[in-house]
Amino acid sequence: MLLLILTCILLLPVFWGWGRLFQTFGGKIFTGVSGTLLSGIFIVSIMAVLTSWLLPLGTPVEVIVLGLGLLSFLLLKGYRSFFDFFKNNHLVIPAALVVVFFATFAPFILDHYGYYVPTVKWFREAGLVKGIAGLDLILGQMSFWHALQAVFSGIGDPYLRLNLPALLIYLIYATEKKSWLHLLFIPLLFPFLQSPAPDLPVIAFALILLNEILSGNKNILLIFAFSVWIFAMKPTVLWLPLLAFMYAFMIQKQRVSVLWPGVFILGLFLVKNIWTFGFPVFPVQIADLGLSWKPNAEILETSARLATEKTYDMQYRYDEIRNFSFTERIANWFLLSGMKSGVHIAFFVGLAAFTFFTVFRRDKMVWLIYLAVMVKVILVMVFSAQYRFFLDVFFVIIFVMFSGLIRKELAWSGFAVLAIITSAFFITPKIVTQYIPTFRLGVAMRGWDRMQLLKPADYRFNKYKTYVIGNLEFNVVYGYLFNYDTALPAISPAFLAEYSEAGIFPQLKGKEIREGFVWRKMTAEEQQYLKEIIRLHEDSIRQ
């Protein structure tokens, strides 16, 4: 806990300093400490993505960002703002310590090892690499949030807990704006605290913007820009920029000129995807530009099939799903074994309740929110109806329907109760899995360790083997499934099997990894050698 507290003491002032610098020329999206902090995260993440095209986001970049942020904080007397806020909001400090406590547990989300950490490593050691999806398809996403995490992953936040200051900003906002329902959402986000999962900032920041829109915030230029920025972290929050767009023209009657910062960020997002993935939106294969570094078609087809199987929680094979009738597709999605079935049913019950609420409320703003959410729901159901892609919708529905009904005392009491309940999942996960066998994440959770009072729990593996095929020397984790701490360039054992089946293999586009990757057909000798490599890693592939 101690090291994470020091991380927050460092990073929050840095974000405040950058936020004040941004506000001098960009204006305030809203007032208060939270508005300045959010502006700081916004501008640093945008600069991080732009910088990653030119050079890695390593220690020199981090030192400059930390130094300028702290200098601005000191010169502009940011400490006064923090002092005034905490002096008038005594409950925030114990609540913040509770948040820090949950951030000390070891990461247990599998994407932490297969996607988040590798992406941060690539940003920090190589920058934004052309055709990185051709080496490891999942890295083609390269979220804005991971670019920001990479900036601070050496000195400021070596344990990759950037979601901790993000959730503290959300806590500060809820208190400043006296929007108490937000406090009840905070414990529900604790499972995302141990990893740089974009889900947490996307949900928290989207709810902040939603509250600002419902409050009638007239700074449409920044409302739209921030909404597109959140979308760039994770495109499943498509409803937010759609809502901000409709709010700008149908409620606030603004001119088109207010969209230009948001359009710039959207363009940056699309170009970033084209650079890393070969298509404008990951993982959708739309607007094929015929680029030499786009992934192999067979690899993309395998990914699409896997997405379809994940829609049904891997309980059906792709060929079975393809032969489902329309009614079977719906019925089998609702009747999956385990917790997923309950989540799916709750999702549609929530949508039905939201529909009735919207119809009977007869409020134009609520109708716009409903339309934006339904567009997102339809697109998710069409492409890959995995429950994790519509988690944010639960929060939106609850917030719109109940935000004005929760009082301060009830919110703080509810925060405490939910935090205590959630702690049972973290401290005694084995007991929880005994009573809830389908709680699969409990298997990866390792409970409480007293060393967490000093530093957050983490895993280290760092076992790998090095091989060469063509002009690419690459590393493969040995004895595990994911390359989260394997030296770059790293290829996971699962992708080796896919490359072998497709008969292709990634190659350097130039002489260094920063120049990017392409793929080519393997020779017969290379295919045989790859099969020998795969045999050495068969246990990892089967995990």
Low-confidence ranges of the chain (pLDDT < 50): none
CA quadruple 523, 526, 532, 535: dihedral positive or negative?
A: negative
Predicted TM-score (pTM) of the model is 0.94
List, for residues 90-140, the tens digit of each pLDDT value: 999 999 999 999 999 999 888 899 899 999 999 999 999 999 999 999 999
pLDDT of the residue at 428: 83
CA quadruple 65, 68, 72, 73: dihedral positive or negative?
A: positive
Q: Which residues contact 263 (CB under 8 A, 6 or more apart)?
A: 228
Tokens of 147: 């670019």
In 3D, which of 179, 240, 256 has the Cα closest to residue 368?
A: 240
pLDDT of the residue at 162: 97
CB 265 within 8 Å of CB 235: no
Give, as one character, the DSSP assignment of residue 490: B
Burial of 162 (0-12, 13-18, 19+ CB in 10 A): buried
pLDDT of the residue at 91: 94
Residues above pLDDT 70, as percent of the chain: 97
CB 222 within 8 Å of CB 244: no
pLDDT of the residue at 436: 67
pLDDT of the residue at 443: 67
pLDDT of the residue at 541: 64
Tokens of 271: 């170009």
To which H or E segment does residue 508 belong? strand 504-508
pLDDT of the residue at 259: 93
Give, as one character, the DSSP assignment of residue 251: I
List, for residues 395-452, the tens digit of each pLDDT value: 999 999 998 889 999 999 999 999 999 988 888 887 777 766 666 666 677 778 888 8
CB 118 within 8 Å of CB 484: yes
Q: Report how far residue 417's alpha carbon sits from residue 83's, in angstroms, rounded to the nearest whole number.
A: 28
For residue 476, list its beta bridge partners.
465
Determine the Cα angle at 282 with ends 281 and 285, to 5°: 75
Query: Cα 235 from chain centroid?
Result: 10
Q: Report how far residue 389's alpha carbon sits from residue 394's, in angstroms, rounded to the nearest whole number.
A: 11
Q: Report how far residue 151's alpha carbon sits from residue 149's, in angstroms, rounded to the nearest whole number.
A: 5
pLDDT of the residue at 170: 98
